Structure 1
Amino acid sequence: VELTARVEALLRRPNDTRETRLIVGPLDLDLLTGRATRAGRDLELLPRELKLLDYMVRRPGRIITRSMLLQDVWGYTFEPNTNVVDVHMGRLRRKVDGEGEAPLIRNVRGQGYVFDLH
């Protein structure tokens, strides 16, 4: 069942013609090396965190629901009763939004998350 779900998720994705480096505001994501920085500060992201940030950066200003993240980042075709998204997003926000920096990722209560450059 899980293998079928993963294959179906891969088939839904467009051909991988996306950029390998994204620079958005103070963020610089190098998807080939897995390195991400904010204003020159290395974020030291884990692979899943980089994938989450990549997903959000490509959808600025849009509310991204937990269901969207579970499907598009984790590849789930069902919604398990889990807080895995919230845990990963909490860690990502702590790394991206450092002390004294304007937050780039915010929680929209009851709906999901938004990446916003302000």
Structure 2
Amino acid sequence: MSTAYTYVADLNQESIPLEDGILSHTIHQDDRVKAVLFTFAAGQELSEHTASTPAILQFISGEAKLTLGQEMLDARPGTFAHMPAGLSHAIQAKTLTVMLLLLLKG
């Protein structure tokens, strides 16, 4: 019996170094979760927004400012955040930053 799976040995190797801008690409998607890898050039940001589903942020490399609701937090490799649906959030990269976003469905 064969079970389909997604395997990524090193998320940093999946990212593309940027001098400017933000790059995102989906690395997995099924009926329960969508996994999107983001690469932010230093100084780039995603302005305040909300998601319609619960989400998890996992910072892989770099340093960023993470805003969750009204709270500003530091994010660095190993930082984990779970957000309920509808929570306003923003991300500002201080350095080249790689982050994994998991959108939880259903």
TM-score, length-normalised on structure 2? 0.31
TM-score, length-normalised on structure 1? 0.29
Where relative contact order (Cα < 8 A, 6+ residues apart) is larger, the structure is 2
Which structure shows the higher strand fraction? 2
Which structure shows the higher helix fraction? 1
